[in-house]
Amino acid sequence: MRIAYARVSTDKQELYRQLDALEKVGYDKLIQEKFTGTQKKRTGLDNLFHTVRSGDTVIIESISRLGRKTLDILSTVEELKEQGVEVISLKENLDTSTPTGQAMFQMMAVIAQLERDLTVQRVNEGLSSAKARGVKLGRPTMDKQKVKDALRLYDSGHYSVKDIIRITGISQGSLYRKIKERESKKIIAQIDEITEL
């Protein structure tokens, strides 16, 4: 089955140009949506994945209809290929069922991998530079007194978690983490007492 997929980013945009191009080459089923390509999770794209079967072909007017980022587009095409589905993009003259289309797709994959590697390299260089300048990395250490105060307020039973966060300035996650740590220590201490008997 030949399944056409058309997408524009907003409700104000129209699909006419894409639909005209797709109708010229023909299709058995059309899936269309108006949703931003920056999101990988889209109703129309989900519908496409639920519709396709091994041996089907997905036709798009342009490869950019599958997403905004190269990595997202590649992962979508790879997922379709894993299901035995070929992809045809009219604008780029890309057909993953042909040797030329496969080569183009592999070139895109190489470029995407290069993007990933360069991003990792830039992050590592930034971290090294920050360390060299004496910047402390990772989570900021919590003020021990604030933690003690927060636990004391929690134990009193007179304050809500919201109040404790507002009064002490520690985050909700930190408070719950410290409560959990304390409970774990109590349990370990009780187990130690039992084993010593």
pLDDT, greater one: 195 or 56: 56
Whether 106 maps to a domain, the answer reads yes
Q: Are 189 and 158 in contact (CB under 8 A)?
A: no
Q: Can you read off the two tokens belonging to residue 65?
A: 């209809």
Residue 185 located in a structural domain: yes
The string of pLDDT tens digits covering residues 91-101 is 888 899 999 98
Question: How many other β-carbons are positioned within 10 Å of the β-carbon of residue 9?
Answer: 14
Q: Are residues 11 and 101 in the same domain?
A: yes
Query: Averaged over 159-167, what is the pLDDT?
Result: 86
What pTM does this model have? 0.57
pLDDT digits (tens, 9 = 90+) for 62-119: 988 988 777 788 889 989 999 999 999 998 888 999 999 888 888 877 777 777 788 8
Domain hosting residue 149, numbered range:
144-196
At 192 the pLDDT is 62
Give the three-class secondary structure for 55: coil
Number of residues that this document lists for the chain: 197
Domain count, the chain: 2
Residue 160 designated active-site: no
- Residues 14, 97: one domain? yes
CATH number at residue 24: 3.40.50.1390
Task: Please tell me which residue in 9, 64, 75, 174 is annotated as part of the active site.
Answer: 9
